[in-house]
């Protein structure tokens, strides 16, 4: 039988607790205790093996692209800074009447 509770339908059979035989747990195996650092390093090493590394040529090409884009943005921001600082200095000079 289904009962509506808000927007969720709840099966009455699911709400009853089960009775019956108790399941026995299998004996636990004792595992070697391992520190967090050694586990981290082992997992990191495993993940690094999965990485597809670029070839030497790809690495050099991508490095040049990054350097070129960084240089272009540095020049652009330097130019904007120069323009704004010049404009602010002229505005201050105009206001102060110098």
Higher pLDDT, 18 or 9: 18
C-beta separation of 3 from 9 below 8 A: yes
pTM value is 0.50
In angstroms and rounded to an integer, the radius of gyration of the C-alpha atoms of the chain is 34
Tokens, residue 20: 């019956």
Residue 27 reports pLDDT greater than 70: no
């Amino acid at each position: 039988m289904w009962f509506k509770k808000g927007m969720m339908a709840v099966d009455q059979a699911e709400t009853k607790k089960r009775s019956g035989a108790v399941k026995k747990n299998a004996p636990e195996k004792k595992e070697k205790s391992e520190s967090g650092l050694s586990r981290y390093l082992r997992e990191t090493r495993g993940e690094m093996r999965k990485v597809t590394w670029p070839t030497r040529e790809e690495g050099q090409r991508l490095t040049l692209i990054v350097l070129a884009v960084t240089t272009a943005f540095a020049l652009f921001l330097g130019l904007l800074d120069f323009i704004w600082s010049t404009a602010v200095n002229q505005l201050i000079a105009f206001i102060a009447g110098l």
